[in-house]
Every structure is written in C-alpha cells, then in structure tokens.
C-alpha cells in the first residue's frame, strides 16, 4: 500500500455523527493514556508509514519465530500468546526503525507573521495610508505580497519600508519609511 501497488478505496467510509459531549476533565489526565502511543512514535511519523512497517515486521517475526510447518488448528492455550508476543516484538522493532524519522514530518509554517517583523519590503501601490497599501517582501521563493498600513502617509510606490508591527485583527503589517 505504501508504494502504491495496492489501492484500498473500498476502505473509504464516510460516517457523519453529530455528537455533543461535554467533558470536564483535566487535559493532562487524558494525555497519560497516549504516552505509550507517543513512545512508539505513533503520531510522530505518518500513521500509514508506521503501520506498514509494523505489519511487515509482525509478519516477519511470526514467520521467523514460529514453526514453518502448517498449523492444523487454532490452539487456545498457546496461539494467542504467540500472537501477542509477535506483535510486541514487532512494535519494539518498529519503534527502533521509526526513531530516526521522528520530527522529519512535522509541518513548519514558513513566513510566520511574527518572523516578518523587522524585515524590509518595497511598496508596490501608489501610496501607503492608514487604510490602504501593499508591499512585496523578497523571500527564497516567490515574493510575498503583504497588506501594509502607515499613519504618516508619506510613503509612495518604490519606497523601501521596515515592518514594525503585525495587526492580527486586519491581517495587516504596520510599516515605516526607512
């Protein structure tokens, strides 16, 4: 599945539930239950990748550890313990294999508003006022077009301005002439 050789569209199920549940619990108490999952790197690497590695290792452990002879019937006294053992070993091996992948799949938001304060940009509109203005900020990729504002009104097209503040209520940057 991870390589794309098998398509599992039949597993796409849409379930629409409207549940209104009020829970008065300390969030830290709920997080204790997720510690083993976090320790096994579930959530730190993509679930499909983790699951694919786990299933492959569980199959491999069961084939190598157990008898390769055909098993005629299910034995309640030994077979469930062998399954739990194989899954436990596979989970530990999956943790070891996925440990170097932790953090590699975390989303990094580029160009956060707080990081842009203090940078310079060039005005692209005819002027920058209290209610109007745009500027372009050069980045490693395409330039960012920002909505900018200024109280003084002495900024015109082509001027280089310094970003001094970010106003989240209007999603605009306050600039001043350099």
Structural domains of the chain sorted by starting position, each given as residue range(s) with its CATH number in brackets: 24-101 (no CATH), 113-177 (2.40.50.140)
Q: Name the pLDDT band for 63 (thresholds 50, 70, 90).
A: confident
Mean pLDDT score, 144-151: 92
The residues, ordered by sequence, that sit 6+ positions from 51 with a Cβ below 8 Å of its Cβ are none
pLDDT at 151: 84
Mean pLDDT score, 87-111: 90
pLDDT at 39: 83
pLDDT at 85: 93
pTM of the model: 0.52
Question: Can you list the alpha helix ranges (DSSP code H) found in the chain?
Answer: 27-31, 35-39, 47-65, 79-98, 113-116
pLDDT at 1: 53
CA distances from 153 to 48, 101, 157, 160 (A): 54, 51, 12, 14
Which residue in the block uniquely carries the two structure tokens 């579930």? 42
pLDDT at 7: 63
CB-based contacts of 137-141 (< 8 A; 24+ apart in sequence): 137/163, 139/110, 139/111
Q: Which of 54, 64, 65, 66 is nearest to 90 (CA)?
A: 54
């Amino acid at each position: 599945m991870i390589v794309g050789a098998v398509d599992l569209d039949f597993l796409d199920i849409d379930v629409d539930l409207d549940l209104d549940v009020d829970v008065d619990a300390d969030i830290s108490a709920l997080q204790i239950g997720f510690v083993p999952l976090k320790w096994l790197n579930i959530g730190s690497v993509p679930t499909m990748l983790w699951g694919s590695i786990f299933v492959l290792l569980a199959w491999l452990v069961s084939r190598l550890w157990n008898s390769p002879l055909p098993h005629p019937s299910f034995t309640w006294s030994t077979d469930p313990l062998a399954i739990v053992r194989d899954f436990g070993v596979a989970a530990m091996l999956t943790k070891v294999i996925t440990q170097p992948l932790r953090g590699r799949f975390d989303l990094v938001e580029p160009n956060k508003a707080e990081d842009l304060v203090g940078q310079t940009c060039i005005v692209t509109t005819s002027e920058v006022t209290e209610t109007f203005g745009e500027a372009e900020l050069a980045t490693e990729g395409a330039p960012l077009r920002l909505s900018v504002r200024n109280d003084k009104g002495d900024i015109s097209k082509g001027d280089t301005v310094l970003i001094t503040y970010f106003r989240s209520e209007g999603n605009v940057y306050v600039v001043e002439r350099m």
